[in-house]
């Protein structure tokens, strides 16, 4: 495994099945097969190889895709389709990744004050079909290196795994999850000892160690009974979950409204692992009788009731909405399959409106700025977001006299930025990214869909006690700090050929950026890759304050585009007309850009 690609994709530039390329691929595939310790992927790859060697063009093309490089750490760790191949997720890739993590901790940990043999590595996993096996392989490889694996007994939400790293004082953490990706995918997230996802130098350092890993069938593993007997396998105790729930409850600041008007809530776990912990956290915050969407409550790696297990996707909340209508619920809360993201829909005019990630982030950050107490010694409250999220947060922070920071895409940057600013007297109260990721306070140094769900429910209950709705509050914020309206879109381009198209579109944008967008002059072009950042991002600013950000996805084969448009409104009655104007402007920009880049 080598460095150099984004998550869920691979290095390499293969785009076809020419004789030379296929010959090279067949050699790679045979080597992979000879070294693969997993009988299932060996059988799968053997059959595919036989078809390709017999002249099956489709099989040859499939092999070229599977071996078009190697997975490496991107926006959110390793992520890819579960099947045989160096550019896929499988037991061989997981074993080599785990060997590299252990080796880096043992070789370099002391430089950073980390003793992996004493502190161990937390290992968690979600409910996907391959997650438990990948977690067990991780534990077995670490144990063989003398690094204790602190493993959860059952599938857990990602935020609980991140919390456990800090709670247990571990040297690192590994979470086996593909979050909201399709059922065929899985992934591997790594946390450093500070409980945040790895950033430089640790990501490149681990990647370098992975390249030195032995063949998968030569990597030593220790079976669970033997590892436990040697003291290098321990279960994470239930008191870690209890500590997390206590911390979520302790962060509440709307306690006065807890006994007020009840709030009817529907919750869905989206076939993931959030159900039990989310409902416990909500109950302990005073939300008794939360209504389940029953068919999506239990972990199911096939995600049988949704076409795509992402609460952002059209139709993903249809079942929850049906339950909410029947129950007369005012609020729908939805976690994604590993419960690190939160989607929200609110009742309005007999229907339910799904809030955008930016809107949820605005509301949570505004509430934290207004009500979260500052600890003794802190000088300012700090809010953090990413370069593709709304500029609204920067305006609101300035108006409220709060500190503000903006980071690259990926929650690892938000968490590390919050820790970086703490010594300067800035207390992190809330951070978010537009893709439904939020962290309220320093409780979890990653996205926390469960903690965010509790905070949002408390906000809605407090507003109801004042005779207001969430939408009322959102409009108040727009009048106070300016209206932001987003027109976001993405284009999926799967496979190696798709990656080449994405690279070509980004290169074309850099070489010849538009001088005008929807008749507005482009006054500045920011190329983050040229500014010394590890980011393939181009940002265009127009004279009217609009901002178009273009980047490849870090987790899926997509190019993503974010157009934010802004306007000032003096009263709530002006918002609808202003938003309609901005939407029309954004759609015209979308058509122009798609045509220019061939999307």
- Contact between residue 176 and residue 118 where contact means Cβ atoms under 8 Å apart: no
Which residues have a Cβ under 8 Å from the Cβ of 13 and sit 6 or more positions away? Answer: 68, 496, 500
Q: What CA–CA distance (Å, rounded) separates 61 from 400? A: 56
Q: What CA–CA distance (Å, rounded) separates 431 from 269? A: 22
Q: What letters, b where the CB count within 10 A reaches 16 and e where it falls short, cover 373-398?
A: eeeeeeebbbbbbbbbbbbbbbbbbe
**3 state DSSP class of 191:** strand
Q: What CA–CA distance (Å, rounded) separates 143 from 231? A: 9
Catalytic residue numbers? 179
Outline where 391-448 has alpha helix (H): 392-400, 411-421
Q: What CA–CA distance (Å, rounded) separates 430 from 421? A: 13
Q: What CA–CA distance (Å, rounded) separates 190 from 170? A: 12
- Contact between residue 424 and residue 377 where contact means Cβ atoms under 8 Å apart: no
559, β-bridge pairs: 491, 552
Q: What is residue 599's DSSP assignment?
A: -
Residue 97 CA, distance from chain mean position: 20
What are the angstrom distances between the C-alpha of 471 and each of 41, 254, 366, 478?
Answer: 50, 18, 14, 11
Q: What CA–CA distance (Å, rounded) separates 550 from 388? A: 9
Q: What backbone torsions phi and psi does residue 488 show, to the nearest 5 degrees? A: -110, 145
Neighbour tally for 229: CB within 10 Å: 11
- Contact between residue 56 and residue 186 where contact means Cβ atoms under 8 Å apart: no
- Contact between residue 141 and residue 95 where contact means Cβ atoms under 8 Å apart: yes
| Angle at the Cα of 202 from the Cα atoms of 235 and 71, rounded to 5 degrees | 85
Pairing of strands 437-440, 233-235: unpaired
Which residues have a Cβ under 8 Å from the Cβ of 98 and sit 6 or more positions away? Answer: 137, 138, 141, 142, 174
Q: What CA–CA distance (Å, rounded) separates 67 from 80? A: 13
- Contact between residue 593 and residue 599 where contact means Cβ atoms under 8 Å apart: yes
Q: What CA–CA distance (Å, rounded) separates 324 from 267? A: 9
**3 state DSSP class of 553:** coil
Q: Is 471 exposed, middle or buried (0-12, 13-18, 19+ CB in 10 A)?
A: middle
């Amino acid at each position: 495994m080598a460095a150099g690609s984004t998550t869920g994709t691979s290095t390499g530039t293969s785009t076809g099945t020419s004789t030379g390329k296929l010959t090279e691929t067949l050699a790679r595939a045979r080597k992979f097969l000879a070294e693969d310790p997993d009988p299932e992927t060996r059988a799968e790859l053997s059959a595919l190889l036989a078809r390709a060697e017999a002249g099956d063009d489709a099989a040859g093309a499939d092999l070229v895709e599977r071996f078009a490089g190697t997975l490496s750490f991107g926006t959110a760790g390793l992520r890819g389709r579960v099947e045989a191949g160096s550019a896929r997720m499988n037991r061989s890739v997981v074993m080599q990744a785990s060997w590299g993590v252990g080796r880096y901790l043992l070789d370099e940990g002391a430089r950073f004050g980390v003793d992996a043999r004493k502190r161990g590595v937390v290992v968690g996993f979600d409910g996907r079909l391959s997650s438990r096996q990948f977690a067990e392989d991780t534990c077995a490889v670490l144990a063989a290196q003398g690094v204790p694996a602190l493993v959860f007994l059952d599938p857990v939400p990602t935020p609980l795994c991140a919390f456990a790293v800090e709670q247990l004082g571990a040297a690192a953490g590994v979470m086996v999850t593909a979050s909201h990706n399709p059922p065929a995918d899985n992934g591997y997230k790594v946390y450093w000892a500070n409980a945040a996802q790895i950033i430089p130098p640790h990501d490149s350092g681990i990647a370098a160690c992975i390249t030195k890993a032995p063949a998968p069938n030569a990597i030593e593993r220790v079976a669970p009974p033997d590892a436990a007997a040697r003291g290098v396998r321990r279960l994470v105790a239930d008191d870690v979950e209890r500590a997390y729930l206590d911390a979520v409850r302790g962060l509440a600041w709307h306690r006065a409204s807890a006994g007020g008007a009840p709030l009817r809530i529907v919750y869905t776990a989206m076939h993931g692992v959030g159900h039990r912990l989310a409902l416990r956290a909500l109950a302990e915050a005073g939300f008794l009788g939360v209504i389940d969407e029953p068919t999506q409550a239990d972990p199911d790696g096939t995600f049988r009731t949704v076409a795509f297990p992402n609460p952002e996707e059209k139709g993903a909340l249809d079942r929850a909405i049906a339950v909410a209508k029947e129950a007369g619920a005012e609020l729908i809360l939805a976690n994604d399959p590993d419960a690190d993201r939160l989607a929200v829909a609110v009742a309005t005019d007999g229907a339910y409106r799904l809030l955008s990630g930016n809107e949820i982030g605005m509301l949570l950050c505004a509430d934290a700025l207004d009500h979260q107490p500052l600890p003794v010694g802190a000088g300012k409250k700090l809010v953090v977001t990413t370069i593709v999220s709304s500029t609204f947060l920067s305006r609101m922070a300035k108006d409220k006299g709060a500190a503000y920071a903006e980071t690259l895409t990926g929650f690892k940057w938000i968490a590390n930025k919050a820790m970086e600013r703490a010594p300067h007297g800035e207390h992190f109260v809330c951070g978010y990214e537009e893709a439904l990721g939020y962290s309220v306070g320093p409780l979890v140094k990653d996205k926390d869909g469960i903690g965010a769900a509790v905070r949002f429910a408390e906000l809605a209950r407090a507003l109801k006690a004042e005779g207001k709705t969430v939408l009322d509050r959102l409009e108040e914020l727009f009048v106070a700090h300016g209206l932001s309206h987003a027109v976001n879109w993405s284009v999926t381009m799967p496979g190696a050929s798709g990656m080449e198209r994405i690279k070509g579109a980004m290169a074309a944008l850099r070489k010849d950026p538009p001088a005008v967008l929807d008749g507005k002059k482009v006054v500045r072009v920011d190329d983050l890759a040229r500014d010394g950042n590890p980011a393939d991002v181009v940002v265009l600013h127009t004279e009217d304050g609009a901002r178009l950000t273009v980047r490849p996805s870090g987790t899926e084969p997509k190019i993503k585009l974010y157009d934010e448009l802004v306007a000032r409104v003096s009263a709530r009655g002006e918002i609808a007309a202003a938003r309609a104007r901005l939407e029309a402007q954004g759609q015209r920009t979308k058509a122009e850009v798609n045509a220019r880049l061939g999307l």
